[in-house]
Amino acid sequence: MSVFYLNSSTYTRTFEYLICLSNDQIYLDDEQLNTFWRPSFIGTESEDEGLKKLLQKKFVRVKDYEVSHISRLFETEYKKITEVYIRPVFETIIKEYLFANLNKNESFTFAYGNYMGEIKSLKTFESRPEQ
């Protein structure tokens, strides 16, 4: 299972992540399952307006493209926060009865990172033979 941040979503301002269930070939898996997810703590247009008002208190001139640039800088921090957020979620999944009692003939890895970029393994659940 992988959670990918999508750089394109920063520019479209959707701030979506791709949750992907696939085999070890990840992008080349013909049977992968995907869904999109937007964490509730990630920026909204109202936050951009609040940021603009804050900047206008400190600076004489604030252009929309400057606010947009600063918002994109925040997105980098959101990616780090999201990684911290999903680590215990992965731990919870591993402890769930249905997941724990599946007969897994291969290791199951929980990964996080940039879609089609650098990803890292956050947790690996080793396979266990059938009993």
Q: Is residue 72, in this structure, part of any structural domain at all?
A: yes
Quick: pLDDT tens for 21-54. 988 888 899 999 999 998 887 766 667 788 888 8
Query: In what helix (H) or strand (E) does residue 53 lie, and over which residues does it extend?
Result: helix 45-58
- CB of 22 closer than 8 Å to CB of 10: no
What does the pLDDT look like over 1-23, one tens digit per residue?
899 999 888 778 788 899 999 88
Domain membership of residue 130 (yes or no) is no
Q: Which domain holds residue 7?
A: 2-125
Q: Per the domain annotation, does 62 fall within a domain?
A: yes
- Give domain status of residue 101, yes or no: yes
End-to-end C-alpha distance for the chain, whole angstroms: 25
Residue 80 lies in a domain: yes
- The answer to whether the pTM exceeds 0.85 is no
CA atoms within 13 A on the CB side of 25: 5
Distance, CA of 41 to CA of 82 (rounded, Å): 9
Say if 24 falls within a structural domain.
yes
